[in-house]
Structure 1
Amino acid sequence: MKKFKGIMMMGFVLLTVTLSKPVMAMELSSFTDVPDFAVVIGDSMYTLDYANNLNNAGLINDAVVKNKGDIFIKTDDSGWIKNSNSTQVNKDAVNISTIRYNNGQEIVASLPATSKATKIQVNPTITKTGTNTATFTYKILDQNGLDITKTIPASDIYGGASVGSTIVVDPTTGIGTITVNSSADISKSIVITLVNKKGVTGTSAPSKIAGFSINPTTTKTGMYTATFKYSVFNSANEDITKTVPASQLTATSSDKSIIVLDPLTSTGTITYNSTIDLNSSINITLKDLLTGITASSVMVAPVVKTDASKVDKIIVTSTVLAVSGNKGYASFTIYDQYGNDITNTSLGNNVTFQSNIGQVQTNKGLLIITANVGIDLSTLRSVIISGFDSISKVTTSVTLTVATQVKS
C-alpha cells in the first residue's frame, strides 16, 4: 500500500479543473462500503483510480491543504494506514458517517439510476468450513468505485473455480461458498472466477507481476541477521506484494546468504554467513518463477544507530510545480542519516523552505507556494525552491518547471 505522500511523488500534476454537476454517489453505511486503497481526507473520499487521474489532482490537494486531521488509506478489510506515521489502525479510526463526498461527488442515501457494476473483486483467501466446503469474500464496485455488492442479486452472479465445484454467493454479506466434488480439492490452491449477467468478470488469480522494488537499506535484527523491504507491482503499478506467495519468488545473494521473504509484511530477512558479510554490501536478486522477471539491488550494510537522528537529506520529489490560482504545489521528503523518513517529525518541521516567487508553507510533505503580489504563476516557466535545516546545516535547491493551468 502506498502512503498518500508516496502517491503524490509518483507524478501528480495539480490542475485547476471545472467540475460539471456531480452524479450523486451512493450512501456509505459501513467500513466495508469503502473500496480498498481509497484515501479519506477529512469529509472526502477518493478511490485509487480517481486519485491517479491527473485531472483530479487539484481537487485532492485542496482537500489536503484544508484538512485539519490525518489522512487515512484503506489497505484491506482489516483497517487503515495512518498517513502521518505509516502505522496501521483499526476500522473504527475513521467515522464513516462523516464522509460526505466521494470523488468530489455528494453522497446521498439512494443508489443513482446510472450506477452499474464495473468491477468484481474476489479475495484469493479461502476459509475451510467443512470437509467439502470453504468460503471467500467478494465485492462488486460501480463506476465510481463504490461497493454495490448488496444491490446485485445472487441470481445475477455466476461462479466457477479451477477445481470441480459449485459456488453460491450471498450479496447481503459479500461471502461466497464453494462446495467441491472431492475433499482432496479443498486443500489445493483454488482460483475463483465470478461473472455478472452484464459480462463483468473478477478472479482471485493474482495479478501478473510486472516488476519489483527493493529498498537497499537493511536493519540489523540479530548477530547474523538483518531485514529489508521489498514490493511487487503489476502492470497497473499496483502493489500486489501481499498476493504473491513467497514460493513464487526466489531470492539469492552474492555472498550465498539465506534470504526468506514474508509477503504479508513486505519484508525480507537475510541470514548472513559471518559478521564480515553482515558488515559488507551484498547484491540481492529477486526473481518471479512464473514470468522470469528479475530485480537486483546492492544492499547497504546495516547501520548501527549510535548517534541521535538528524536531518541528512532534503529532497524535493516533484519535477513540476503544479498550479492552482495563485498557489503552486510540490512534494518533498526529509531523511535522517539512517535513511528514515522524518518528514512529519519535529526534526522535519525545523526545515524551512524559500522560493524566488513567493512565500512557502509546508503541510505533511507538501510545499504550498503563494505567489507574491504582482506575480502571475501562469506566465512563469520555472521557479526556484530552496530548503535549509538550521541544526544540521543541510541544504537543497531545485528548479521546477511550472505546469500549465487548465482554465475554466
Structure 2
Amino acid sequence: MNKLKGFLALILMLTMGSISGGAVELDKYSVPDFSIMIGTKLYTLDYANDQKKEMEITKAITENVGDIYIKTTGSEWTNNSSGKVVEVSIINKLEVKTFNGVDVVAPPTQGTEGSIVFKAVDVDTDLQLMDSVSRKGKVGSECVGYISVIEGYDFVLADTTFTGKFTNLDQIVTLKYRKKKIVVNNPPSTKITGLTAGLTFKQGERIYMLVEAVDEDKETTNVRVDVDGSQVGNSDARCYVLLNTETLGGHIVRINSRDKQGVEGEQQTLTYLVR
C-alpha cells in the first residue's frame, strides 16, 4: 500500500480539491480491504497497482476534484493525502459509479444477488483461454466450483483480492493458468563397437562386440543381443558379446533396446561371414 500511497500523493499535489459526495451510500457495498476510492471510482489494491492499468488510474486521479480515500481493515478509511482517518459519515455519502473500471448499473441492497464474472488467462502470456463465465449467488454466500478444467493447463491462482464470496459489488475475477510442459519420451537406441555389417572373419577367430545403451531421456535401457536367433546378451547398460566364429557361413546379429517406460527402440540387424 505504501507504493500506491506514494504514487497517488505525488499526483494529488496537482489535483487537491473539495470532498466529493453523492446520493448512494458506500456502506451498502461490501468493499474489500485496501480498496481505493478516487472520486466516484472504486478500485481494489491489486487492480490499481497493475502496471497495465496505470493509464486508467492516472486519468482517474487527474480528472478527480476531490480527495482520495483508502480503506484499511474493517470499516476504517484514511485520507490518502493526509493519512488521517476519515469520519464514517463522510465515507457513507460517497457515490460509487464504477468498480475496477466496470460501471455499477444500480446500487444493490443487502440480501440481493451478487454477480461474479470469471476470466481465465495464461499466467505467462495474459492470453484469455476461454469465454468468460458468469456466476450469480446470494450476497455473502460462497462461490464454489468456479475453477474450470482447461485441457493442457494447470490452475495457478485467482486474484488475491477475491474472497470466494458473492458481494454487493459485481466482481470480475481473473483466474490464472499455466500451460503444462509436454514431456516427449524418445525411444532408446544402441551404440555398437567391434562389428559393422558385412565383415568377414576366420573360423575360430575370437571377435568381441560391445553394445551400449543410448537414451536421451536418461531412462534405464534394457539391451538384448541375439545371434542366429539365440540370445547371447541382456543388460541394463552394456553387453560384451563373443561372436560365433566356429560355424562357417553367414550369421545374423539382432539388437533390441527398451526403456523403463516400455518404449522400444528400433531394431538393428547386422550380418557377418565366417570362412
TM-score above 0.5: no
Give the TM-score band, short-chain normalised: 0.3 to 0.5
Normalising to structure 1: TM-score of the pair? Answer: 0.24
Which structure has the bigger radius of gyration?
Answer: 2
Structure 2-normalised TM-score?
0.34
Higher strand share: 1
Q: Which has the higher contact order (CA 8 A, sep 6+)?
A: 2
